[in-house]
Amino acid sequence: MAKKLLLFIGLLSLFVWNVEARKRSPFRLENDSILHICSNVQERYYEDMCISLEIGMPFYYTSVIIDEGVDSAWVYIPYGYGSTPLPVRLLSIPSSLKFFIWDGPSIKKVQLNPKNPYLRWKNGALYSRDMKNLYFGHLEENGDSVFQVPETVENIWGIPDGHFSKVIIPERCKKTPGYIDCDTLIIHSTHSLDCLDDHVMSKLSYLYCLSDSVVAHILMEDLWKSIRWKFGRDIDIGKIHCPNYDIRKRDTSWMRESYRLTCVMEDGDTLVGVDTISSGRSIQSVMIEGIADENVRFCRYNDTYHFYVTTYDTLYRLPLEVFVKPKERKPEPKCSDFGEVRDSVFIIREGVDSLPYLSNRPSSFRKVIIPKSMRYMEGGITCDSVFIYSDSLHGAYYIDADYYYVENEQLYLSIKRWLMKDRSAVVYSPNYGIRKRDLSLQKNTNPPIWKDELGNVIDLSNLRPTNYCGKYLQLTIEGINPRNLSVSYEWKGYKRKMVYSWKKDKDGSKKLFWRLPAAAYGDLELEYAVWTYDTLLTLPQKTQIRYVKQDGSPWGDDFDSMGSCLYYVPRGETCESLMKSGKKIKCWKSGDTIPRRYLKRLALGALYKNGECGSMGGKINYLLDWKDNRNYLYNSGPYTLHLEDLIPKNPFVQIPPNHPREVWMLDIRQLADNCFCLCRTWLPMHFYVGR
């Protein structure tokens, strides 16, 4: 059996093509406009044979040439909704080709090798030599609005493109394509054909079909669709003429008063003779005693299953129903279940240890009183003032108040610090000790020391932006616990607090790391404060963040206009050390030619408007497609880059060592740190590979 070749060329937009090919089935490009199909591949599942190559530049294939030696091929050219594929000027078919399917746009000219003993071109269509297979054709050459398939044809792989007033299918035909565009369809074949679905039938003005079983099947499927999806029927029986159609062929011999029903549940359980199933379960299949399984169908309406029997051209509904028990709904908790509301004051009674979301709570209370027994709280409560007598209240952040009375000292301190992060409110505790505030900390003038994960001291006044997303650094000020520090900066007139997180240090212990602002914020001034008991004291120290170029000169204001690039990391250097070294960085933007000797150590970077190159941080996903020195197209993706702050796990782009001629990096997605949400999407990049 001849092997089949699948070519998938997709027009993504007017200027972007999509070429799909398996790695083991190379397709060759000539002058970026002539596509060569140059080998066969073993037939496999359709999805397994498609690998995407997305080219982010104008691309037009003027010709498709099937090279000598290829014995079978399938060319499929899809296009997006609302777009029209560009025509191919020439399709060249070799003498070796035996089997061919063309599913794509129009072809201006077909050139069949006259020495081909397997195929023939006749009246604007390609047939097998014995005229038993019709592969494809074109209305432009046919020039007739009526297309009559020759009587010898048994398999139709593709109808000539265009709209016909009439298409005639011969008696021997066993296979047709899934779509035929015509007003009148005449079928002399008695075989069940693929083209007779509701999508085609709804557009026909007239159908003549000799086989009543085919017509009956069409009508039954149309009825089932209307039952299952509650749509109106698409097919008008008045359009159909079938001389052998006879409704007396409907079989009703199975009809009786009672039925024995067996249900197979989705988890494999079998229930016999039931009329109710539990909520959350569904029926996978059914068996009804005395009726063939293939004739039984069922569907669900809301919480009821209905059952039908197919017979000839219709379906009969059985007097059987299976109900789905509705979920037991617990009564929604109300304020009165947990306390008393008087004059907009909500007093939660003693003994209540948890407060769920209350269905009837007002938008705001004047006062809320939380007893000593309360431990857990769910759902938000808005009030003017709240009085908390609990010693430990998990979920206090659900309370939005202007005044907090907190009896427990430790709970008072945690609420005080938490509120200082986002908003201002009065927090009072009768048990707080004002003398516990260490006001001498405000006199601390020791310089802030910033270190990286390796313990190296970082000079923020001469900082090269080596990471687009910002860096994590350790902060120490002698005489102050790092846990009590707060760092902020002003950007565009707004005060912002620096983000911190607990990360593992090189020795494995967890330490507090602060994330520096991204380079795009420009030069900044860091201000420091320290927590002492229940207050935040401003410190006199300040640190200037000054971003500089590689040569030490001021960076400037060119932060906002950036693109991606590839840059070379010499052996003995890491991405981070290279950025700090002051060495000249070799980088290439999309459209550049990269010398081949640099391919194995290329890292993905950010290219700034002032010409500087910076590395990226976090996790980056991308696809990689490439063309070798023989113009064969390959796919080698997807890949993931793990670019940590200082120790990258996999910093280099994985370009195959097969001497690529061109490389495309596609769908470049930079993920936010410690989460799965998208941080940034970069435009595709296309590179040429030089010597």
Three state DSSP letters for 124-153? CEEEECCCCEEEEEEHHHHCCCEEECCCCC
The pLDDT confidence band at residue 134, using thresholds 50, 70 and 90, is very high
Report, as an integer, the average pLDDT of 341-368: 92
Give how far Cα 517 sits from Cα of 47, 280, 467, 469, 470, Å.
44, 48, 10, 8, 5
Give the C-alpha separation, 596 to 628, whole Å.
Answer: 12
The pLDDT confidence band at residue 14, using thresholds 50, 70 and 90, is very low
Report, as an integer, the average pLDDT of 446-475: 82
Q: Using the predicted structure, report yes or no on whether residue 405 has a pLDDT greater than 90.
A: yes
pLDDT for 329-348, tens place per residue? 778 889 999 999 999 999 99
Give the C-alpha separation, 17 to 634, whole Å.
Answer: 15
Handedness of CA 382, 386, 390, 393 (dihedral sign): positive
Report, as an integer, the average pLDDT of 104-116: 87
- Most confidently modeled range among 345-359, 466-480, 676-690: 345-359
Q: Using the predicted structure, report yes or no on whether residue 245 has a pLDDT greater than 70.
A: yes
**341 in Cβ contact with 366 (< 8 Å):** no
**557 in Cβ contact with 474 (< 8 Å):** no
- What is the pLDDT, as a whole number, of residue 561? 58
The pLDDT confidence band at residue 271, using thresholds 50, 70 and 90, is confident
The pLDDT confidence band at residue 152, using thresholds 50, 70 and 90, is very high
Report, as an integer, the average pLDDT of 445-457: 88
Q: What is the mean pLDDT of the chain?
A: 81
- What is the pLDDT, as a whole number, of residue 46? 33
- DSSP notation for 399-444: EEEEEEEE-SHHHHHHHHHHHHHH---EEE-TT--GGG--GGGGG-
Question: Which secondary structure element, helix H or strand E, spans residue 310, and what is its range?
Answer: strand 304-311
Q: Does 690 or 423 have the greater pLDDT score? A: 690
Cβ contacts of 142 within 8 Å, gap of 6 or more: 123, 124, 125, 160
The whole-model pTM stands at 0.51
Number of residues in the chain: 691
Residue 90, SS3 per DSSP: strand
- Most confidently modeled range among 490-504, 562-576, 587-601: 587-601
Q: Using the predicted structure, report yes or no on whether residue 681 has a pLDDT greater than 70.
A: yes
Give the chain's end-to-end CA distance (angstroms, integer).
Answer: 43
- What is the pLDDT, as a whole number, of residue 519? 72
Give the start-to-end residue ranges of the domains of the chain.
1-117, 247-324, 335-432, 440-545, 562-689
- What is the pLDDT, as a whole number, of residue 559? 64
The CATH number of 440-545 is 2.60.40
- What is the pLDDT, as a whole number, of residue 383? 95
Report, as an integer, the average pLDDT of 559-570: 80
Report, as an integer, the average pLDDT of 208-217: 87
